[in-house]
Protein backbone atom coordinates (compact mmCIF):
# COMPACT_ATOMS: atom_id res chain seq x y z
CA UNK A 1 0.00 0.00 0.00
CA UNK A 2 1.26 3.44 -0.93
CA UNK A 3 -0.08 6.61 0.68
CA UNK A 4 0.85 9.83 -1.05
CA UNK A 5 -0.28 13.32 -1.93
CA UNK A 6 -3.15 13.41 -4.42
CA UNK A 7 -2.46 15.24 -7.67
CA UNK A 8 -4.71 16.67 -10.35
CA UNK A 9 -3.93 13.64 -12.56
CA UNK A 10 -5.46 11.38 -9.87
CA UNK A 11 -8.84 13.09 -9.87
CA UNK A 12 -10.72 10.66 -12.12
CA UNK A 13 -9.53 7.69 -10.06
CA UNK A 14 -10.44 9.48 -6.83
CA UNK A 15 -13.88 10.20 -8.25
CA UNK A 16 -14.36 6.47 -9.01
CA UNK A 17 -13.53 5.66 -5.39
CA UNK A 18 -15.91 8.38 -4.19
CA UNK A 19 -18.77 7.04 -6.34
CA UNK A 20 -18.32 3.58 -4.83
CA UNK A 21 -18.33 4.79 -1.25
CA UNK A 22 -20.50 7.84 -0.72
CA UNK A 23 -23.80 9.29 -1.90
CA UNK A 24 -22.22 12.75 -1.72
CA UNK A 25 -20.64 13.06 -5.16
CA UNK A 26 -19.14 16.44 -5.79
CA UNK A 27 -19.03 17.80 -9.34
CA UNK A 28 -15.72 17.40 -11.11
CA UNK A 29 -15.12 21.16 -11.00
CA UNK A 30 -15.10 21.03 -7.20
CA UNK A 31 -12.45 18.30 -7.15
CA UNK A 32 -10.41 20.17 -9.75
CA UNK A 33 -10.68 23.42 -7.78
CA UNK A 34 -9.46 21.77 -4.58
CA UNK A 35 -6.60 19.92 -6.27
CA UNK A 36 -5.37 22.97 -8.14
CA UNK A 37 -5.73 25.56 -5.38
CA UNK A 38 -4.64 23.32 -2.50
CA UNK A 39 -2.41 20.60 -4.00
CA UNK A 40 -0.53 19.91 -0.78
CA UNK A 41 -3.36 18.96 1.59
CA UNK A 42 -5.21 16.04 -0.09
CA UNK A 43 -3.99 12.46 0.01
CA UNK A 44 -4.75 9.04 -1.44
CA UNK A 45 -3.97 5.40 -0.78
CA UNK A 46 -3.24 3.16 -3.77
CA UNK A 47 -2.82 -0.60 -3.85
CA UNK A 48 0.03 -2.48 -5.51
CA UNK A 49 -1.75 -2.18 -8.91
CA UNK A 50 -1.95 1.59 -8.56
CA UNK A 51 -5.71 1.55 -7.91
CA UNK A 52 -6.98 4.31 -5.64
CA UNK A 53 -8.53 2.54 -2.63
CA UNK A 54 -8.94 5.54 -0.32
CA UNK A 55 -8.58 9.29 -0.30
CA UNK A 56 -9.11 12.41 1.77
CA UNK A 57 -9.94 15.60 -0.08
CA UNK A 58 -9.36 18.88 1.78
CA UNK A 59 -9.54 22.61 1.25
CA UNK A 60 -8.92 25.81 3.20
CA UNK A 61 -11.74 28.36 3.35
CA UNK A 62 -12.54 31.55 5.21
CA UNK A 63 -14.48 31.04 8.46
CA UNK A 64 -18.22 31.53 8.00
CA UNK A 65 -18.70 34.26 10.63
CA UNK A 66 -15.11 35.54 10.91
CA UNK A 67 -13.80 36.10 7.37
CA UNK A 68 -10.38 37.14 8.67
CA UNK A 69 -9.92 33.59 9.97
CA UNK A 70 -9.08 30.48 7.94
CA UNK A 71 -10.45 27.00 8.43
CA UNK A 72 -9.25 23.62 7.15
CA UNK A 73 -12.04 21.53 5.64
CA UNK A 74 -12.19 17.76 5.30
CA UNK A 75 -14.53 17.68 2.30
CA UNK A 76 -14.59 13.98 1.60
CA UNK A 77 -12.98 10.86 3.05
CA UNK A 78 -13.55 7.30 1.96
CA UNK A 79 -11.92 3.89 1.76
CA UNK A 80 -13.07 1.04 -0.51
CA UNK A 81 -14.83 -1.72 1.41
CA UNK A 82 -12.18 -4.49 1.06
CA UNK A 83 -9.56 -2.11 2.46
CA UNK A 84 -11.46 -0.93 5.55
CA UNK A 85 -10.45 -1.52 9.18
CA UNK A 86 -6.78 -1.51 8.22
CA UNK A 87 -6.10 1.98 9.57
CA UNK A 88 -6.10 3.70 6.17
CA UNK A 89 -8.65 6.40 7.00
CA UNK A 90 -6.80 7.24 10.17
CA UNK A 91 -3.49 7.55 8.30
CA UNK A 92 -5.06 9.71 5.58
CA UNK A 93 -6.65 11.98 8.20
CA UNK A 94 -3.36 12.26 10.12
CA UNK A 95 -1.49 13.23 6.94
CA UNK A 96 -4.15 15.80 6.04
CA UNK A 97 -4.01 17.28 9.55
CA UNK A 98 -0.20 17.55 9.46
CA UNK A 99 -0.29 19.19 6.02
CA UNK A 100 -2.98 21.64 7.14
CA UNK A 101 -0.98 22.61 10.23
CA UNK A 102 2.35 22.89 8.39
CA UNK A 103 0.91 25.05 5.60
CA UNK A 104 1.63 28.74 5.11
CA UNK A 105 -1.91 29.75 6.09
CA UNK A 106 -2.63 29.78 9.80
CA UNK A 107 -5.88 27.89 10.36
CA UNK A 108 -8.04 28.18 13.47
CA UNK A 109 -9.52 24.67 13.32
CA UNK A 110 -10.33 21.77 11.03
CA UNK A 111 -13.99 21.23 10.21
CA UNK A 112 -16.05 18.46 8.67
CA UNK A 113 -19.65 17.28 8.30
CA UNK A 114 -20.78 13.75 8.89
CA UNK A 115 -24.15 12.02 8.62
CA UNK A 116 -25.87 11.52 11.95
CA UNK A 117 -26.24 7.80 11.13
CA UNK A 118 -22.59 7.22 10.09
CA UNK A 119 -21.38 5.26 13.11
CA UNK A 120 -18.05 4.24 11.59
CA UNK A 121 -17.02 7.77 10.63
CA UNK A 122 -18.32 9.24 13.89
CA UNK A 123 -16.26 6.77 15.87
CA UNK A 124 -13.19 7.63 13.81
CA UNK A 125 -13.58 11.39 14.16
CA UNK A 126 -14.75 11.57 17.78
CA UNK A 127 -13.09 8.61 19.50
CA UNK A 128 -9.84 8.25 17.54
CA UNK A 129 -9.06 11.71 16.18
CA UNK A 130 -10.45 13.99 18.90
CA UNK A 131 -12.98 15.96 16.83
CA UNK A 132 -15.68 17.64 18.94
CA UNK A 133 -19.34 18.03 18.12
CA UNK A 134 -19.93 21.66 17.07
CA UNK A 135 -23.59 21.69 16.07
CA UNK A 136 -26.31 19.70 14.39
CA UNK A 137 -27.22 20.91 10.90
CA UNK A 138 -30.78 19.82 10.12
CA UNK A 139 -31.42 18.33 6.66
CA UNK A 140 -27.86 19.11 5.56
CA UNK A 141 -27.76 16.32 2.99
CA UNK A 142 -29.73 16.11 -0.24
CA UNK A 143 -31.81 13.18 1.04
CA UNK A 144 -32.85 15.14 4.16
CA UNK A 145 -30.51 13.52 6.69
CA UNK A 146 -29.05 15.73 9.42
CA UNK A 147 -25.31 16.31 9.72
CA UNK A 148 -23.09 16.78 12.71
CA UNK A 149 -20.68 19.61 12.14
CA UNK A 150 -17.44 18.65 13.94
CA UNK A 151 -14.29 20.59 14.68
CA UNK A 152 -10.73 19.96 15.73
CA UNK A 153 -9.15 23.17 17.11
CA UNK A 154 -5.55 23.69 16.07
CA UNK A 155 -4.45 24.25 19.65
CA UNK A 156 -5.81 20.79 20.42
CA UNK A 157 -3.43 19.28 17.89
CA UNK A 158 -0.17 20.89 18.99
N1 LIG B 1 -17.70 0.55 12.94
C2 LIG B 1 -17.32 1.30 14.01
N3 LIG B 1 -16.19 2.05 14.03
C4 LIG B 1 -15.43 2.05 12.92
C5 LIG B 1 -15.78 1.30 11.77
C6 LIG B 1 -16.97 0.53 11.81
N7 LIG B 1 -17.37 -0.21 10.75
N8 LIG B 1 -14.84 1.53 10.80
C9 LIG B 1 -13.94 2.37 11.34
N10 LIG B 1 -14.29 2.69 12.60
C11 LIG B 1 -13.61 3.62 13.51
C12 LIG B 1 -12.95 2.85 14.64
O13 LIG B 1 -12.87 3.72 15.76
C14 LIG B 1 -11.56 2.59 14.06
O15 LIG B 1 -10.62 2.33 15.03
P16 LIG B 1 -10.33 0.78 15.48
O17 LIG B 1 -10.11 0.00 14.21
O18 LIG B 1 -9.13 0.90 16.36
O19 LIG B 1 -11.59 0.34 16.18
C20 LIG B 1 -11.29 3.91 13.42
O21 LIG B 1 -12.53 4.28 12.82
C22 LIG B 1 -10.16 3.90 12.38
O23 LIG B 1 -10.47 2.94 11.40
P24 LIG B 1 -9.75 2.92 9.99
O25 LIG B 1 -9.37 1.51 9.70
O26 LIG B 1 -8.69 3.96 9.91
O27 LIG B 1 -10.99 3.36 9.05
P28 LIG B 1 -11.26 2.82 7.58
O29 LIG B 1 -10.02 2.87 6.75
O30 LIG B 1 -11.97 1.55 7.66
O31 LIG B 1 -12.25 3.97 7.02
C32 LIG B 1 -14.33 5.12 6.81
C33 LIG B 1 -13.33 4.48 7.79
C34 LIG B 1 -13.63 6.18 5.98
C35 LIG B 1 -15.45 5.77 7.62
C36 LIG B 1 -14.87 3.99 5.89
O37 LIG B 1 -15.72 3.14 6.64
C38 LIG B 1 -15.65 4.50 4.68
O39 LIG B 1 -15.07 4.79 3.63
N40 LIG B 1 -16.98 4.59 4.83
C41 LIG B 1 -17.84 5.05 3.72
C42 LIG B 1 -17.57 6.51 3.38
C43 LIG B 1 -17.73 7.41 4.60
O44 LIG B 1 -18.63 7.22 5.41
N45 LIG B 1 -16.86 8.43 4.68
C46 LIG B 1 -16.93 9.45 5.72
C47 LIG B 1 -17.97 10.46 5.37
S48 LIG B 1 -17.80 12.00 6.28
C49 LIG B 1 -16.69 12.93 5.34
O50 LIG B 1 -16.35 12.54 4.24
C51 LIG B 1 -16.15 14.23 5.92
What DSSP line would sit under the chain, residue for residue?
-EEEE--GGGHHHHHHHHHHH-S----HHHHHHHHHH-TTS-EEEE-TT--EEEEEEEEEEE-SS-TTSEEEEEEEEEE-GGGTTSSHHHHHHHHHHHHHHHSSS-EEEEEEEEETT-HHHHIIIIIIS--EEEEEETT-STTS--EEEEEEEHHHH-
Q: Which atom of ligand 1 is nearest to the CA of 127?
A: 13
Mean pLDDT, residues 32-38: 83
121: CA distance to ligand 1 center in Å? Answer: 5
> How high is the pLDDT of residue 74?
95
Task: List, chain by chain if needed, residues with CB within 6 Å of any ligand 1 atom.
Answer: 21-22, 74, 76-79, 84-90, 112, 114, 118-121, 123-124, 127-128
Task: Tell me if the pTM is above 0.90.
Answer: yes
Mean pLDDT, residues 15-35: 80
pLDDT of 156 strictly over 60: no
For ligand 1, atom 48, the nearest C-alpha belongs to: 114
**pLDDT above 70 as % of the chain:** 98
Task: Quick: pLDDT tens for 121-143.
Answer: 999 999 999 999 999 999 999 89
- The complex scores an ipTM of 0.97
Amino acid sequence: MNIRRAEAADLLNILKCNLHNLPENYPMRFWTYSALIWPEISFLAENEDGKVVGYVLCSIERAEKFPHQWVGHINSLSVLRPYRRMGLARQLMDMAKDALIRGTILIEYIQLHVRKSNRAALSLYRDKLGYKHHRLEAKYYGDGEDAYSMRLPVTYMK
